Amino acid sequence: MASRRPTSDSESRQEHTIQDVIQTAVDSISYGALYALMALSLALLFSVMGLMNFAYGELIMVGGYTMFILRDDSWVLLLVITIVVVTVISVLMERIAFRPLRDASPNTLLVASFAVSYGLQQLAYMTVGPIPKGVSPYPWLVESLDILGISVSRLSIITFVVTIALLIAVTAGLNRTMLGIQLRASTEDFDMARLVGVRANRVIVAAFAITGVLAGVVALCYVSRSGSVSPTLGQGPLLVAFVGGVIGGLGSLTGATIGGFLLGAAVTALQATLPTDLSSYTTLFAFSAVIAILVLRPSGLFARRAVREA
């Protein structure tokens, strides 16, 4: 008997480890995909109109507060209204803040995006206040799902499935529809696109609407996981997505998406695996790697030759 106890202990520990590894892997992939959606959004706006939209994080914050307000309503309503509200705010952002600056330099646009970002944060401070509001996810979401004897959180699986489905849908839309072709042409040479008859307002509003829908979905997944919303909620994920996009190359939609995925997955994995006393240095580790990559490949991992030569 005495000889069997340690064996079963180590077996159970091993099971526990496998369990952890798989949960961490699923988490990393699903949150990597979430950051990929954000990086894709940033890259789309950046390449269509030269706008690095730092106010994109505030769309997630707006989504979070919408969820907070609707926390007692049915989940269908919460899903639909959150996505609609975030999309409308995104389109309004274009109409009010960025359209008057359409021909301005990227620097002016960048400063404007900071202004919108801080403006929305301050609005949140003044109206709902600085204290984080709890948005407890539906109990069903946090339950674990048993897949082949391994339990994985349902939220991770849903995040993964939804983000991958959206990435596929956006890719298909960009490749198969006339609007998608116009958007891709605009990311390459906006002035030429206008010369062949692409309506500037139409593609730019479409870009803000598409990235708004994506921000709505990111808000739903992200806030369900974090469980609370505060005025600065969007800053963290925006930074990771932005830097991930830069690693991949913001001029290339595919590159930025992959960059966002890799950095998002790495950050999530580091948070889960680093020892407790080191886990606050997650960003330090991640961004050190980023600096190393940018020293070696300044225009991003996936920059096209033509872009680099230009």
Partner 1 sequence: MNLLTLTDVWVRYGRVPAVQGLSMHVDEGQLVGLVGNNGAGKTTTLSTVTGVLRPSAGTIEFEGKEIAGQAPDRILRHGLSLVPENRRIFARLSVRENLQIGTSGRKDRAKAKEDIEEMLGRFPVLERYHDQPGANLSGGEQQQLAIARALLARPRLLLLDEPTLGLAPLIVDQVFDLLEQLKSEGVTILLVEQNAARTVSIADRVYIMRTGGRIEFEGTGDELAARGGLETAYIGF
- Give 195 or 295: the residue with its C-beta nearer to partner 1: 195
CB atoms within 10 A of CB 196: 9
User: Is residue 135 a contact residue for partner 1 (CB under 8 A)?
Assistant: no
What residues between 160 and 179 interact with partner 1 by CB under 8 A?
178
User: Is residue 309 a contact residue for partner 1 (CB under 8 A)?
Assistant: no
User: Is residue 192 a contact residue for partner 1 (CB under 8 A)?
Assistant: yes
- Give 55 or 193: the residue with its C-beta nearer to partner 1: 193
Please give the structure tokens belonging to residue 83: 């996505």
Are residues 112 and 97 in contact, defined by beta-carbon separation less than 8 angstroms? yes
Pick the stretch among 26-34, 189-197, 231-239, 258-266 that binds partner 1 (CB under 8 A). 189-197
User: Is residue 182 a contact residue for partner 1 (CB under 8 A)?
Assistant: yes
Q: Out of 99, 154, 194, 297, name the contact with partner 1 by CB under 8 A.
A: 194
Spatial distance between the Cα atoms of 128 and 115, rounded to a whole number of angstroms:
20
Q: Out of 131, 196, 295, 296, name the contact with partner 1 by CB under 8 A.
A: 196
> Tokens 């300044």 map to which residue?
298
Spatial distance between the Cα atoms of 206 and 43, rounded to a whole number of angstroms:
14
Q: Out of 1, 195, 295, 296, name the contact with partner 1 by CB under 8 A.
A: 195
User: Is residue 198 a contact residue for partner 1 (CB under 8 A)?
Assistant: yes
- Give 16 or 176: the residue with its C-beta nearer to partner 1: 176
Are residues 231 and 119 in contact, defined by beta-carbon separation less than 8 angstroms? no
Spatial distance between the Cα atoms of 35 and 237, rounded to a whole number of angstroms:
7
Pairing relation of β-strands 133-134 and 228-229? antiparallel
> Tokens 């996810």 map to which residue?
137
Residues of this chain that bind partner 1 (CB under 8 A): 178, 181-182, 184-185, 188-189, 191-200, 304, 306
